[in-house]
């Protein structure tokens, strides 16, 4: 590990414009430093910033960037109104990591692509212009939507998939003032040269995530994740679904996929097809096909397209059945070895 300077920002003003890498929970950054992928000259500790509250805002919720993942998952308002978000958080990492990881850090976490994490492999995300080592390599977990020859990595977050489905907005403060970006557009898709433009400009910091009022979507929200083991495993494919249903007819629908692209993938065509349709398995099967419109394998991973459709359909079916009064201790998951996938 390289030597670095450490400083602590006690106020938001001290953090904004600061040079260096921001350190909050450290659950991703410190790992990258240990394996030689990240080597910042300066760490700016922002873990003591007063951004650790969940507050009501315009009928919705405003979550501070320093709120721990575990605290969001067990917040009564989140459980009652954004159940897919709570379920997504509970499916991520491990209990120990959820107690340390922050909201802002979860959004900003780096891809878990094994070629990105190997300093000896070419990677346009790590070293622009060096190429994408994953192309032609082991691509089972790589992108099937929105990828280019410059990068086929996926974003690993579970939380962000649910946030995208709920129309969350990222609030950002920087030297140029305040700005907002929809979660579904916050993470850039790769361009021909690599990872695309960075999500944040130098000196900018995420301060809050804002969730609008879910309305009737609150009663029908679920998150389903396909993974290889029950804990501490990233999604092969995941889906967040939320529905509003009246007399068996879908009046509003939200659907987002995870593990398929460099950002949470909002399925707008599927949502439009669901509106006005009966909440049936046949409807959900048709919508799940639209959810992967434009998908293409980036290597030996064509099966991910079918898996994404099945997981999307399952999430919609579970959402239609209604959110349980109490979420299970083990969130809705499907394991890669199951026969029922």
Tens of pLDDT, residue by residue over 47-78, are 999 999 999 999 999 999 999 999 999 999 99
Range of the domain at 300: 216-323
Residue 154 belongs to some domain of the structure:
no
Averaged pLDDT score across all residues of the chain = 94
Q: Give the gyration radius of the chain's Cα atoms.
A: 19
Burial 221-240 (b: 16+ CB within 10 A, else e): bbbbbbbeeeeebbbbbbbb
Helix, strand, coil percentages in the chain from 3-state DSSP, rounded to 5: 25, 25, 50
Residue 277: which CATH number?
Answer: 3.30.390.50
pLDDT in tens, 214-251: 999 999 999 999 998 877 789 999 999 999 999 999 99
The answer on pLDDT for 338 being more than 90 is no
pLDDT digits (tens, 9 = 90+) for 258-297: 999 999 999 999 999 999 999 999 999 999 999 999 999 9
Considering the domain boundaries, does residue 133 fall inside one? Answer: no
Strand partners, 169: 182, 210
Residue 160 in domain: no
Task: Please indicate, yes or no, if residue 310 is contained in any of the structural domains.
Answer: yes
> Does 242 map to a domain?
yes
Tens of pLDDT along 150-178? 999 999 999 999 999 999 999 999 999 99
CA distance 291 to 295: 9
Whether residue 273 is contained in a domain is answered as: yes
> pLDDT of 96-114, one tens digit each?
999 999 999 999 999 999 9
Q: In the structure, how many helices (H) and strands (E) does the chain have?
A: 12, 13
What's this model's pTM, rounded to 2 decimal places? Answer: 0.95
For residue 337, what pLDDT is reported?
Answer: 46
Number of domains the chain contains: 2
């Amino acid at each position: 590990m390289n030597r670095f300077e450490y400083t602590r920002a006690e106020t938001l003003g001290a953090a904004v414009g600061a040079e260096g890498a921001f350190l909050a929970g450290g659950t991703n950054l410190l790992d990258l430093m240990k394996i030689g992928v990240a080597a910042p000259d300066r760490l700016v500790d922002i873990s003591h910033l007063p951004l650790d509250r969940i507050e009501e805002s315009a009928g919705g919720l405003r979550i501070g960037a320093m709120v721990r993942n575990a605290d969001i998952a067990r917040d009564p308002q989140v459980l009652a109104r954004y159940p897919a978000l709570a379920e997504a958080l509970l499916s991520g990492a491990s209990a120990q990591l959820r107690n340390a990881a922050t909201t802002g850090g979860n959004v900003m976490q780096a891809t878990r692509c094994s070629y990105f994490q190997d300093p000896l492999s070419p990677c346009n995300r790590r070293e622009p212009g060096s190429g994408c080592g994953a192309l032609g390599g082991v691509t089972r977990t790589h992108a099937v939507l929105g990828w280019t020859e410059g990068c086929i990595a996926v974003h690993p977050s579970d939380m962000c998939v649910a946030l995208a489905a709920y129309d969350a907005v990222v609030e950002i403060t920087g030297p140029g003032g305040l700005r907002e970006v929809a979660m579904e557009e916050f993470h850039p898709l790769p361009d021909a040269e690599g990872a695309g433009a960075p999500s944040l400009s130098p000196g900018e910091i995420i301060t809050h995530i804002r969730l609008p009022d879910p309305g009737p979507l609150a009663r029908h929200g679920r998150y389903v994740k396909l993974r290889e083991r029950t804990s501490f495993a990233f999604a092969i494919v995941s889906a967040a679904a939320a529905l509003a249903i009246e007399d068996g007819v879908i009046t509003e629908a939200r659907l987002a996929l995870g593990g398929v692209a460099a950002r949470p993938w909002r399925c707008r065509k599927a949502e439009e097809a669901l509106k006005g349709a009966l909440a049936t398995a046949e409807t959900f099967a048709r919508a799940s096909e639209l959810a992967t419109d434009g998908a293409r394998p980036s290597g030996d991973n064509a099966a991910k397209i079918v898996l994404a459709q099945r997981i999307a359909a399952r999430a919609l079916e579970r959402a239609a059945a209604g959110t349980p009064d109490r979420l299970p201790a083990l969130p809705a998951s499907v394991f890669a070895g199951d026969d029922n996938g």
